[in-house]
Amino acid sequence: MRLLVADKMNLSALEELRILGIEVIYRPELTRDTLAAALDGISILVVRSTEVTGAALSTAKHLNLIVRAGAGVNTIDVAAASARGIYVANCPGKNAIAVAELAMGLILALDRKVVDATTDLRAGRWEKSKYSSGGGLFGRRLGIAGLGAVGRELLDRARAFGLTPHAWSRSLTPTRAAKMDVGFSKTLEELAAKSDILSIHLPLTAHTRGVVSRRVLEALPDGAILVNTSRFEVLDYVALAELVPRKNLRVGLDVLPGEPDEGKGTIDPSLFEQGLVYGTPHIGASTEQAQLAIALETARIVRSFLTEEDVPNVVNIAAASPARFAVVIRMMDKVGVLANCLAVLKRHNINVEEVSNTVFEGALATCTKLRVSGRPSDACVKEIQAFDEVLHVDVIGLPNLA
Ligand SMILES: NC(=O)c1ccc[n+]([C@@H]2O[C@H](COP(=O)([O-])OP(=O)(O)OC[C@H]3O[C@@H](n4cnc5c(N)ncnc54)[C@H](O)[C@@H]3O)[C@@H](O)[C@H]2O)c1
Ligand SMILES: O=C(O)CC[C@@H](O)C(=O)O
């Protein structure tokens, strides 16, 4: 079985997969446009930022599993993968500390204008009075948009700096916020209005695209610090470019429109000329520690896929299958018995949605649970029961969880 790593990655943790008969192919130079041609004969694909399009997936006949060696899965056409029965898994939380550290670094750098001061020093200019006006962080209000893995790591670090945290997040309630000792905001606009510093940690989804809108940016106090280390698409960069000088915003960005698909390239620098705007080239996850944690998690996912029933961190399994009934069949552990039962269900036009099979000690008998779409008729059940090797058949109605 062949595993393709289509991004720069720490490979040490993947070495052990060779014991399981996996051939690891390392092609960090692959891009969105060259990936499709490289997928021939590949069963497992590991990517960081390389985009996986529906078009690439349509030619990937052997592909069973895509591992996003990171948090966000927005770079993968998950719907296209689901339509072809391909697992998509990610590594949630494994790079969260690294991103929170960068967010904190950008906040500190913006408050003290560290980048500008360094630029002056590099040019031999000593400008002590120019850089002696940092506001200080202690007691300032920090707004966290998206209180997931990164947001929570930032929260821990923010407390150490004496910041007062507030948050807005999908499943955050006033009770939960109170338990976490975090101020609660009902809307993102409300959070922005009470943020001396606003840090964005939302995933890119249909609901969050453009959510940090002009209105939200307008709601920020003048002179506020805004940090985005999540995805550029969640933030209105056009409005931001206008509002930075007007509201004296101080901005730290790790994610930008037009990020090159490869490790090296060019970008429109105009936003960085609007005022105090600092940036990094999407390196939030790029610490040695985080990349090792990501590689270990990737190896764990692949190992589970190969040797266990459940695959960890899969993001595209149906929350509830269309199954409405379970057919529980105890049978002898012999060749063809299950196939015979399935043939009967097929003849009665019953679609099998999920299957599990348990073998008992001694390997004489098994219990097979088939989750099916329609109720099998009495005639169908009788036919299954009639096989000599079938010990018992039950039909159970399932709760409608859809
Ligand atoms: N710069 C980088 O290198 C880097 C690294 C890791 C993650 N990221 C980005 O940061 C994002 C956040 O990472 P994470 O690990 O904290 O993810 P996460 O899934 O743990 O947290 C996301 C949080 O956002 C909340 N959320 C989701 N949809 C929402 C909505 N519609 N409205 C309000 N809240 C919503 C979730 O409830 C969750 O609390 C990732 O999805 C990824 O895009 C960037
Ligand atoms: O791997 C990277 O360089 C970026 C990963 C990051 O965007 C993520 O979503 O985890």
Neighbours of 375 (CB within 10 A): 14
Same domain? For 274 and 140 the reply is yes
Segments forming the whole domain that contains residue 103: 96-283
**Is 170 a known active-site residue?**
no
Q: What is the pLDDT of residue 401?
A: 54
CA-to-CA distance for 270 and 362, rounded, in angstroms? Answer: 71
Q: Is the dihedral of CA 311, 312, 315, 321 positive or negative?
A: positive
Ligand with the closest atom to the CA of 170: 1
Catalytic site residue from 141, 231, 250, 371: 231
- What is the DSSP secondary structure assignment for residue 123, as one 8-state letter? T
Phi, psi at residue 120, to the nearest 5°?
Answer: -65, -45
Catalytic site residue from 140, 152, 282, 371: 282
The answer to the question of residue 336 being in a domain is: yes
CATH number at residue 353: 3.30.70.260
Query: What's the domain count of the chain?
Result: 3
What's the length of the chain? 402
87, β-bridge pairs:
65
Q: Is 175 exposed, middle or buried (0-12, 13-18, 19+ CB in 10 A)?
A: exposed
Same domain? For 236 and 253 the reply is yes
The answer to the question of residue 330 being in a domain is: yes
**Is 353 a known active-site residue?**
no
pLDDT one digit per residue (tens) for the chain, 402 residues: 999 999 999 898 898 888 889 999 999 999 999 999 999 999 999 999 999 999 999 999 999 999 999 999 999 999 999 999 999 999 999 999 999 999 999 999 999 999 999 999 999 999 999 999 999 999 999 999 999 999 999 999 999 999 999 999 999 999 999 999 999 999 999 999 999 999 999 999 999 999 999 999 999 999 999 999 999 999 999 999 999 999 999 999 999 999 998 778 999 999 999 999 999 999 999 999 999 999 999 999 999 999 998 999 999 999 888 899 999 999 999 999 999 999 999 999 999 999 999 999 999 999 999 999 899 999 999 999 999 999 999 999 998 755
Same domain? For 213 and 164 the reply is yes
CA-to-CA distance for 212 and 273, rounded, in angstroms? Answer: 21
Nearest atom within ligand 1 for CA of residue 255: 1
CA-to-CA distance for 23 and 17, rounded, in angstroms? Answer: 8
Neighbours of 358 (CB within 10 A): 10
CATH number at residue 154: 3.40.50.720
Q: Are strands 2-5 and 23-26 parallel, antiparallel or unpaired?
A: parallel
Mutate to test the pocket of ligand 1, among 230, 282, 297 (most ligand atoms within 8 A of CB): 230
371: tokens are: 């989750």
The answer to whether the beta carbons of residues 301 and 89 sit under 8 Å apart is yes
Phi, psi at residue 331, to the nearest 5°?
Answer: -150, 165
| Whole-number CA gyration radius for the chain | 27
The answer to whether the beta carbons of residues 313 and 89 sit under 8 Å apart is yes
Same domain? For 199 and 265 the reply is yes
Q: Is 369 exposed, middle or buried (0-12, 13-18, 19+ CB in 10 A)?
A: middle
